[in-house]
């Protein structure tokens, strides 16, 4: 890394450092968006799958309870003019149950065997309920009450039991979906902080290398310039690079050599060095 930086111009060094930081920011940004997309996908899957199935089952249970209550009230009602209204309300509840069953099937959350069992007991109970309504509207109240006690109530218990089984299945699916979302969030968070830590370490390392590649040669040039100011015309400047500081170091070395050669020539020509020492062979 250090050797590579020494071969780069100052502008290229700074651009290199900025580029690394920008790339790390982009990578972290992409990771964040991917994590959010995954979490959104899990959430959307939960809403359109498990949560929808759970809601459909609960709505079915509510509709069944309302329909069963309407059937019982109809049988006990002595005003026959209300029977048609009761029948319409019951049919509306049964239609809602069919819609919720279709929604439950579309989610694919509940196993086919469990779903078919629930549909069968529901349809059995619905058929019995319609028979109770028919007997009531025909004026056969005693037969209707008998149907409720001997067939409708047991069928309703079967519906409740099947609904509980589906509730348990949807609860298990909900817990699994929540765990999946939690694990995904934790994984994305861990990966984000790992990459963030790696990015910080890399940025610090690269920044330190760039700063050192600038300050260290300047310090060497400063020391040589100080020796030159003190009269040392033969100091060595070891720094070599293709950047602007390398050019400055090369110019300073050239100046030192030129100055040193000039002063040495002057000393020889006057047969005496600046310190008063006589050059051997000069009389």
**For residue 237, is it within any domain?**
no
**What are phi and psi for residue 278, nearest 5 degrees?**
-85, 135
Name residues whose C-beta falls within 8 Å of residue 104's C-beta, 6 or more positions apart in sequence.
53, 56, 57, 60, 110, 115, 166
**What are phi and psi for residue 10, nearest 5 degrees?**
-60, -45
Q: Give the domain extent around 77.
A: 12-202
The rounded distance, in Å, linking the Cα atoms of 170 and 176 is 10
Q: Which residue, among 205, 247, 281, 274, has the nearest Cα to 16 in the 3D structure? A: 205
Chain-centre distance for alpha carbon 17:
27
**For residue 276, is it within any domain?**
no
**Prediction pTM value:** 0.60
The rounded distance, in Å, linking the Cα atoms of 75 and 146 is 11
- At 95-121, the pLDDT tens digits run 999 999 998 888 888 888 989 999 999
How many structural domains does the chain have? 1
Tokens of 5: 């930086």
**For residue 210, is it within any domain?**
no
**For residue 268, is it within any domain?**
no
Q: What is the CATH number of the domain that holds 88?
A: 1.20.120.30
Tokens of 91: 């049919």
**For residue 42, is it within any domain?**
yes
**For residue 251, is it within any domain?**
no
- At 209-250, the pLDDT tens digits run 777 777 777 777 878 777 777 777 777 777 777 667 777 777
- At 144-186, the pLDDT tens digits run 999 999 999 999 999 999 988 888 888 888 888 888 888 888 8
The rounded distance, in Å, linking the Cα atoms of 128 and 147 is 8
**For residue 194, is it within any domain?**
yes
* pLDDT reported for residue 128: 92
**For residue 121, is it within any domain?**
yes
């Amino acid at each position: 890394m250090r050797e590579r930086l020494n071969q780069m111009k100052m502008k290229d060094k700074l651009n290199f450092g900025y580029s690394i930081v920008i790339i790390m920011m982009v990578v972290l940004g992409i990771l964040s968006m991917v994590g959010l997309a995954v979490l959104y996908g899990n959430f959307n899957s939960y809403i359109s799958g498990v949560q929808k199935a759970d809601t459909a089952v609960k709505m079915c249970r509510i509709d069944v309870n309302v329909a069963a209550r309407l059937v019982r009230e109809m049988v006990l009602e002595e005003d026959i003019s209300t029977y048609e209204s009761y029948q319409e309300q019951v049919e509306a509840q049964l239609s809602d149950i069919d819609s919720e069953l279709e929604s439950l099937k579309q989610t694919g959350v509940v196993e086919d065997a469990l779903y078919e069992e629930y549909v069968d007991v529901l349809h059995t109970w619905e058929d019995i309920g319609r028979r109770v309504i028919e007997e009531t509207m025909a004026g056969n109240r005693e037969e209707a009450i008998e149907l409720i006690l001997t067939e409708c109530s047991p069928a309703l218990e079967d519906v409740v039991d099947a609904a509980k089984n589906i509730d348990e299945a949807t609860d298990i699916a909900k817990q699994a979906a929540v765990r999946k979302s939690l694990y995904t969030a934790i994984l994305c968070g861990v990966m984000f902080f790992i990459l963030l830590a790696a990015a910080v370490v890399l940025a610090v390392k690269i920044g330190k290398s760039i700063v050192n590649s600038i300050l260290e040669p300047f310090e060497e040039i400063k020391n040589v310039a100080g020796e030159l100011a003190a009269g040392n015309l033969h100091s060595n400047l070891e720094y070599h690079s293709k950047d602007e500081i390398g050019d400055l170091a090369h110019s300073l070395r050239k100046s030192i050599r030129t100055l040193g050669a000039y002063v040495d020539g002057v000393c020889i020509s006057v047969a005496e060095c600046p310190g008063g020492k006589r050059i051997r062979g000069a009389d």
